[in-house]
């Protein structure tokens, strides 16, 4: 059984202020929960409609009805499992390897997709501006498909972070150098800009290398690529030999 107050607390975690106040976030579905359980994330409690996750102690799990799960869920179609995890202290970004820096990515789906891409391409660190979507937003957690457990995402003052780095800093701009013919190093910071405005003026000045993804459409009217698909193409170029 789950009390009305518990349901209220859990559904309050859909909002950032309550996640911050309680230090908790939710994850849904067997796949995502399984990946988080197998990582450093600490389970607070698990709610399921079926007998799942036999390895979890009985004190940490509760069977609930579908109606109750739906009330707690942030998904349009609730899953068969919802877990509450503790928000861990975020690790500092270390200046090595490839690092993706996000300059105000507002859409939770885009942030989640970029985390999944970083995981695929072995990029272990993401530095987000304070205005970037919250990592523990249920839509972000869901769209990472578990990659959230393997990529270190840290919120920083992006200007302070970039002013202090000794690594090359890549930014994508219309007038940048063709990414297909640019020598791309194994270490560096790649800035991806906001969905509507691209990289902000304040951050742009720290880009030491301006790159561009050439367009091939004959009418030359396509305004831009979606930030997640642009990240996919750029990470692919950095990693291919």
| Residue 40 in contact with a second copy, rule: CB under 8 A | no
Site string for a second copy, 68-97 (x = CB under 8 A): ------------------------------
CB of 91 to a second copy, least distance (A): 17
Cα–Cα distance between 137 and 197 in angstroms, integer? 22
Q: What tokens does 215 get?
A: 């367009």
CB of 80 to a second copy, least distance (A): 16
Q: What tokens does 163 get?
A: 């002013």
For a second copy, the binding residue among 18, 121, 155, 173 (CB under 8 A) is 121
CB of 15 to a second copy, least distance (A): 17
| DSSP result, 67-100 | HHHHHH--SSS--SEEEEEEPPPPPPPPS-SEEE
Closest CA to 127 of 146, 103, 108, 144: 103
| Residue 237 in contact with a second copy, rule: CB under 8 A | yes
For a second copy, the binding residue among 120, 157, 163, 185 (CB under 8 A) is 120
Q: How many residues bind a second copy (CB under 8 A)?
A: 40
Pairing of strands 81-86, 43-48: antiparallel
| Residue 125 in contact with a second copy, rule: CB under 8 A | no
Sorted by sequence, the CB contacts under 8 Å of residue 145 that are 6+ apart come out as 31, 32, 35, 112, 116
Q: What are phi and psi of 120, to 5 degrees?
A: -60, -45
Placement of tokens 């849904």 in the chain = 28
204-213 in b/e form (b: 16+ CB < 10 A) is: eebbebbbbb
For a second copy, the binding residue among 72, 81, 102, 232 (CB under 8 A) is 232
For a second copy, which stretch binds (CB under 8 A), given 2-10, 84-92, 116-124, 202-210?
116-124
Q: What tokens does 26 get?
A: 């939710």
Cα–Cα distance between 118 and 143 in angstroms, integer? 13
For a second copy, the binding residue among 6, 9, 11, 109 (CB under 8 A) is 109
For a second copy, the binding residue among 60, 180, 185, 187 (CB under 8 A) is 180
Using an 8 Å Cβ cutoff, are 202 and 159 in contact?
yes
Residue whose CB is less far from a second copy, 209 or 239? 239
For a second copy, the binding residue among 22, 106, 139, 150 (CB under 8 A) is 150
Site string for a second copy, 18-37 (x = CB under 8 A): -------------x---x--
Residues that bind a second copy (CB under 8 A): 31, 35, 109, 113, 116-117, 119-122, 143, 145-147, 150, 180, 213-219, 221-226, 228-233, 236-237, 239-241
């Amino acid at each position: 059984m789950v009390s009305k107050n518990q349901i209220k607390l859990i559904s309050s975690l859909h909002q950032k202020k309550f996640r911050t106040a309680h230090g908790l976030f939710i994850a849904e579905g067997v796949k995502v929960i399984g990946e988080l359980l197998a990582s450093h994330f600490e389970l607070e409690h698990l709610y399921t409609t079926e007998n799942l996750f036999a390895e979890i102690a009985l004190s940490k799990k509760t069977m609930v009805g579908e109606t109750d799960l739906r009330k707690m869920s942030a998904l349009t179609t609730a899953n068969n499992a919802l877990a509450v995890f503790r928000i861990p202290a975020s690790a500092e970004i270390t200046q090595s390897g490839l690092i993706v820096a996000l300059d105000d990515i507002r859409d939770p789906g885009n942030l989640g997709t970029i985390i999944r891409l970083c995981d695929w391409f072995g990029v272990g660190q993401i530095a987000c501006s304070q205005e970037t979507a919250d990592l523990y937003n249920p839509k972000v957690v869901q769209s990472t498909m578990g990659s959230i457990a393997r990529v270190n995402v840290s919120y920083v003052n992006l200007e302070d972070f970039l002013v202090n780095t000794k690594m090359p800093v890549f930014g994508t701009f219309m007038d940048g150098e063709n990414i297909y013919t640019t020598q791309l190093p194994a270490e560096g910071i790649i800035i991806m800009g906001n969905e509507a405005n691209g990289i902000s003026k304040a951050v742009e000045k720290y880009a030491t290398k301006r790159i561009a993804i050439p367009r091939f459409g004959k009418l030359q009217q396509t305004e831009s690529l979606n930030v997640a698909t642009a990240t996919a193409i750029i990470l692919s170029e950095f990693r291919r030999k």
